[in-house]
Structure formats: C-alpha cells, structure tokens
Structure 1
Amino acid sequence: MEKSQYLEKLLSKYEGTFDIYKPYYIDGKEYPAYGYFFSDLKERKLEQNAGLWASHSYEHILFLTADKIMQTQLHEARTIISDYMEPVLVLKNGRVPEKNHMYSFLTVILISQYPPDKDTIKAVKRYSFEKEYRFKLRGFCTGQLALVSMEDRKITCSPAAEKKRPLLQDIFGEERLALNK
C-alpha cells in the first residue's frame, strides 16, 4: 500500500468524529492534513438551570508523510507539538487554557513508505510530552507520536499513543480483506 492510500483510509476513519482540514499550513509549511475534535460536557442543576460543572476536551492530530521518516522528521514532529500545538492550539497564545479545559491530546501521525532506522524507532518509543495547568485545575495536555511504515507494515507508538495502535492496524487488516475477496 502507498502512504497516500493509507492516509486517505485513515482520514476516512477520523472524518466521523473529527473536523479534517486538507492541506494544513503551519508557518508556511504544508502538511497533508490536520484533524480537530472537541467535546463539551456539562452538568446542570434542573431546579435553577444553573451549571454545576463543565469540561472541554480536545484532540488535535497532524498527519505528516515522507518516503522515509528519519530523525529530522521526528524532530519536526516534536517541535510542532511543543512550539505550535501546545502554545497556539491549547493555550491560544495565553498562559493557561480556557476555563473548563479538561484535557488536550496533541498527536502527530508520521506515515512512511519505507521502514525507519532503529534510532528513530527508539526515539518514538521514548517520546513523552506532558503539561499540567494550574495543578490540573485548568487541565492537562499530552503529546503523542505514532509512526506507520508501509513497506513492513509496522506501527511504532509513544507510550501515550498506544491507544491509537488498533485503529492504525485496522487499515492494514482491511486491505488484506479486500485483497482476499
């Protein structure tokens, strides 16, 4: 499977719950796609119609493709999370997130046609990005990296991104089913 085919199938999975923007630009650089998810939960007291609590949850996913993901693309992904996604998308260029912010997941999915080198795989597995705002009174954010290689069909995830593995693997499984028909 080609990386562009994989990306389109992955985006079709996310389109049900995410707003997808294709292409997406960060500081003038074009990326194939960006996905945005927002959930607003509220608990109200019925007698007075007064709000008891509210929580806002977000997920931002940036998709990055290359023939071979190497340390330069991995450095770019980590920098995007720390220097763009967190300050611009979570903090909105402020000091803390908005009131009622509960959490934000900041994810970069790297899609590679060819397998990455061992150092890149190790770096993805070791990646960690966690921020708490006002002792979690304004929530937290977590950075996640997932690397998918087309040629060997391997998926490498940072510890925080492990929950994404089944979705990323499903696309390879669907291709196998289509070929067997």
Structure 2
Amino acid sequence: MALSSDDYLNELLGRYQANFDITKDFSLGDRIYPAYAWFFSFGEKYVLKKEAQLWAIRAYEHVLFIKTDSVSKELLQEIRQTIEDHVEPELVRRGEKYPEKDHMCTYMTFVIISDRTPDKELQREIKRFKYDKGYLFNFRGHSEGKLALACLDSETVVTNYSGKELKELLTDIFKTQRGTKEEKVS
C-alpha cells in the first residue's frame, strides 16, 4: 500500500523542523498551502571588533508544500506565476525594489507531493523548470526557484536542476517508511 500524502508530509516536516520555522495552512495569493517552511542564515566577518565589519551575508529559503492527486502543466504554470506574483516580491523583496543590504541568496522551493506519477513529458518539464533573478547586477544577491516532486505511487522523486539536493531527502522518506512497515510485519 502506498504512503498517504499526509503521512509523507508529516515525516518531511519532521525533518525540516530542526532548521526551519514551519507554519501549517499557510495562505499566499489565492491558495492555502498545507505547510510553509522558512529558513534564515546570517554570516559576517569583522576585524578585531564588530564595528570593523569586512562583510556580511544573509541567505534565506522559503519552502511551500503542495499535496495533489496528479501534476499538470497548469499546476507548473501556477507555481511559476506564484513565484513571480507573490513569493519573489512579497517574501524575497518584502515589497521593496530590492532585497535588503547584505542579501546573498534566497531559494524559493516548491515541494509537490503527488498521489500519481506524471507522464515522461511532464517530468521533463519539471526537470527544465528554471527561475533565477539577480538584483542590481547581483550586488544585492539573487533568488532561485527549486522544484521537487515526490510521487507516492511509484516512490520516485523528480527535481529541477536547482533542487537536485532535495532528491536524497525526499527519496529517504520512502525508504524509511518502507523499513518501518517491514518492521511492523515481522
């Protein structure tokens, strides 16, 4: 029996909660997402005392989770539109012309949990999905879109190039859940 989308999402959020702030039933634009995870990192280097700062960087990640029966071209278009209309202007730039000083990078990640595996053409579209925007010739950093799909029926994971490091985490949830079921049967 395939893993349910609720079980998969709960296991995934359990892994994210160590480093991310998580909000359930998050509203953005016209949609309510089952969960949203947010991460912030600040690094700086200074000489002798903090007033003599050499550099500082701020890095962010915003993760929106989607549960669906199946993935469609319309869903991928909706994700791109959400990045352009809401995530990038509202979460990355916070309504300003550019992100704040010392902004280095913001990852805008969408994790889709689908009951059914899409056809090969749609999987290719996911792999080709790309969003990258620089600010002030990248002096104020850039934002980048990551896309990952976990297919519950086939226990496969498809990501775009930017999201390739998510594949191991998303695949491991299937392995862990399979191991847990096998232990209960024994």
TM-score range, shorter chain: over 0.9
> What displacement does 1:144 show?
0.8
Contact 1:70-1:120 within 8 A present in 2 as well: yes
Matched residues in 2 for 1:132 and 1:177: separation?
A: 43
TM-score (norm 1): 0.95
**Unaligned stretches of 5+ residues in structure 2:** none
> What displacement does 1:34 show?
0.5
Counterpart secondary structure, 1:88:
helix
- Aligned amino acid, residue 112 of structure 1: S
> What displacement does 1:119 show?
2.8
Matched residues in 2 for 1:43 and 1:116: separation?
A: 47
Question: In structure 2, do the counterparts of structure 1 residues 90 and 47 end up closer, same or farther at CA, with 3 Å as the change threshold?
Answer: closer
Q: Deviations over 1:12-41 (max 9, x none)?
A: 100000000001001242110000000011
Work out whether 1:10 is the aligned partner of 2:12.
Answer: yes
Residue of structure 2 aligned with 1:94, choices 80, 96, 103: 96
Work out whether 1:82 is the aligned partner of 2:79.
Answer: no
Q: Which runs of 4+ in 1 moved over 6 A?
A: none
Q: CA RMSD in A?
A: 1.2
Contact 2:68-2:115 within 8 A present in 1 as well: yes
Matched residues in 1 for 2:5 and 2:72: separation?
A: 15
Percent identity over paired residues: 35
Q: Report what 2:127 is aligned to.
A: 125
Matched residues in 2 for 1:49 and 1:81: separation?
A: 37
**Unaligned stretches of 5+ residues in structure 1:** none
- Aligned amino acid, residue 177 of structure 1: G
TM-score (norm 2): 0.93
- Equivalenced residue count is 181
Matched residues in 1 for 2:100 and 2:117: separation?
A: 40
Matched residues in 2 for 1:53 and 1:164: separation?
A: 29
Q: Report what 1:145 is aligned to.
A: 147
